[in-house]
Chain A
Amino acid sequence: GAVVSQHPSWVICKSGTSVKIECRSLDFQATTMFWYRQFPKQSLMLMATSNEGSKATYEQGVEKDKFLINHASLTLSTLTVTSAHPEDSSFYICSAGSWDQPQHFGDGTRLSIL
């Protein structure tokens, strides 16, 4: 069964709306989670590293005010796309895993901004 649950799997909303995506680790505690963005036919691009109890570490070029990450507990990290616009439409994937283990990925969230 899935060890990382991501919700929702699909979102369609109007431009200007804020969208929250949840990533939950099941059966284990995740001090670190990763958020990726994937454009069609492209690779996964790391957006940020979510650290439980502290601020997320964003990759260069990722707007931290645009993509708010909160990791309030050892089992939940959230990504909020604020005031979303069509260019934010993408496939967002979270993952969790310890340093010596493969990443467990959520099933991803397809975000479409109209």
Chain B
Amino acid sequence: AQKVTQAQTEISVVEKEDVTLDCVYETRDTTYYLFWYKQPPSGELVFLIRRNSFDEQNEISGRYSWNFQKSTSSFNFTITASQVVDSAVYFCALSEALRGSYIPTFGRGTSLIVHP
């Protein structure tokens, strides 16, 4: 079984604040992938990052950074100097080999509201 927990349902910050979205996962597989997606109010899902289970290097992309720690089964996402355009629902997802296909399982999502 696989499970993704995003304990923060909603986060509200003021523009320019840093914010971290938490993601904790459970899996018995040693090979898996973790993802983050952004869903703005318009509804489409935007891919942000993919990380495989063998690569624990943290990654930075502009104002976005990700901290992958297998020891705590966490894959947290930090937005530095948040902007109003960052307001969206962010989903963490996990996929592992299942029936020959990697079927992603999504967390419940964290709604980020950035106030001007």
Contacts and interface: CB of A to CB of B under 8 A. Distances in A.
A32 B103 CA distance: 10
Interface residues of B, number: 24
A108 B43 contact: yes
Interface in A36-87: 41-44, 46, 49, 57
Contacts of A34: 103-104
Contacts of B97: 99
B44 A103 contact: no
B11 to A, nearest CB: 14
B38 to A, nearest CB: 11
Nearest to B49: A102
B91 A102 contact: no
Interface of A: prevailing SS? strand
Given A41-B111, A108-B44, A110-B43, A103 B33 contact: no
B108 A42 contact: yes
Interface residues of A, number: 22
Contacts of A93: 45
A10 B47 CA distance: 22
Contacts of A88: none
A42 B111 CA distance: 10
A59 to B, nearest CB: 9
Contacts of B93: 103
Given A43-B91, A99-B97, A101-B50, A49 B107 contact: no
Interface string A82-114: 000000000101010001111111011010000
16 contacts: A34-B103, A34-B104, A41-B111, A42-B108, A43-B106, A49-B103, A99-B95, A99-B97, A100-B102, A102-B35, A102-B47, A103-B93, A105-B47, A107-B44, A108-B43, A108-B44
Interface of B: 33, 35, 37, 43-45, 47, 50, 52, 91, 93, 95, 97, 99, 101-109, 111
Interface of A: 32, 34, 41-44, 46, 49, 57, 91, 93, 95, 99-105, 107-108, 110
